[in-house]
Chain A
Amino acid sequence: MGLRPPIPDPRSLTPMSIALHPVPTFYDSVGMILSAADLRAIRRNAAIVDGLSYRQMPCFDSSAGLDTYTVGYYPSSPPFRIWNGYFRFRSGMTTLTIEGSATPAGSETIKVFLNGSGTAAATITPTSSFTQNITISGLGYTDGQIVQVELQVQGSASTATARYVIYDIYASPISFATAWPGVPTFSGTYSALKLNQLSNAAQWLFDRMAATPIVPNLMMRYALGSFGTLPNLRPLWYGSVGRYFSNDIFRLFGVYTNVTDVAQKLYVYINGSLASTLGPFGPGTATISIPVALTHTLGTRVEASVWEETITPGAVQAAWKQSRFSLTYRYSQADGSGYPYATMPADFSPAVNISAATLDSRLNALATVLNNTKTRIDNTPNIWNRARAVRRWFGKNGEDTQGDFDARARPFFARQGYRLVVKGKGVSIGFGPITVPSDPQKGPQYDAHTYGKTESVIDGDKVDTKTVYLDSIDGLVPGTTYQLVGDVQYAEELLS
């Protein structure tokens, strides 16, 4: 189906987790035999960090369907909420940045409220392109604290058809105090100093990447389309897509379900222009897999939106017969050529003759892989120097929660990490086959879908923050997609 799941190169996966292979300390002058297994571990580690450095980034969620306060469907006058979510403060972070685009209706402003404060931390003048930096280093947040970010439109204006799209919200910088060890050059002597340096370079890169959290976006399990009633053209999702590597594309993947006899189309807009059209879809189900080439400036984000249109209206049907669009993956990912992962030197084998020149060549090739990975990380600060905020669910009319809506878009991960940090209430992890119950009177109950495997994380008594060691969940092997069910405020995976 053309889907490349948003997980790192499979070389990165190990049975236990995406973790580096342990390498011992090397010692001179003790008769330490240079082990093929140790060099193989370094080679594997180089492949892992090379693969992980092409981190596939989810699109940033701004808003969803027309009943969730989205572009063109706001209240007629402020105040109202346009974005609500959380970020995790870590020591060393100084700045919270909010980027977006707006077409204001009048003189309204966007107020930024942090951590539940009733006093705005900043006021944004909505323009076609805005960036708001807020100093957070002096606000008393503690390391690991999960902080709410709420954006409200305030002021006086006729806002019903205004346009507010949030492209990005992130805290920066990512602090990582350890100095890069550099990489050695081998030439006939395999000293402990150089071997340890090579091994430490891979470890440094892994640790550096582990310092940047992997945050989810919301898997829109059921975005409601129309069944012929007005409006025929309606937004399903608004957000942004980043271009981090030169061959990144926007990938929309999902499933369309039409239980009526209308014909419908799906549109993808990138940076304000129609980039892809899919359909028309008739009754039945169809796979959605849309790749859209990205041509905007490397290292930046642009607006992305997904729309649905009924082109052949039908009779008004029962509500459950509204079409459903499962917009499951919305990611930046490599085009069909894949990311240019490093070509690894030949592997190391024990008890086989190998010349020092060949050994030099292989070890120096590993050093090059590691050095290039370091350069790549340095050159993609929009991935590695930012801890992004996670949007809370698309509540109806901007509310915190509203029944069925809570199940329609949930935080989604394709497991890459070792740990999951999650804040919320009544939270569980759901993965495996999905079952949609059916009511004889009302038909399929999409919003009541269940997962083949669930693991409770936080009980329903109070909001809490928990760390989950993902290896401890049977079946949740690296690469598995899972959703967080319940009242999730924030979640992140960490590589270690």
Chain B
Amino acid sequence: MGLNDSHRYRYSLITIGKDLSLEVGAMANMIPRELVEAVENALFAKLDRLEVLEANEAKAVAVLEELGGDDVGR
């Protein structure tokens, strides 16, 4: 492990951060600790939102089930 691994991690963190809508330019200027925290925070927020969306989907499915599946009345 050495500089190459460090570069590989940094490159991956920036790519993940980009997927999470962080700005590449801003990330490129961050020191390692800042970059890691920024990506972690962005991922955390994304996963929170994902959890909400999953819960809403489950509720929507339950409501549809309650209404009688995929066809209710005419």
Q: Do A and B come from one complex?
A: no
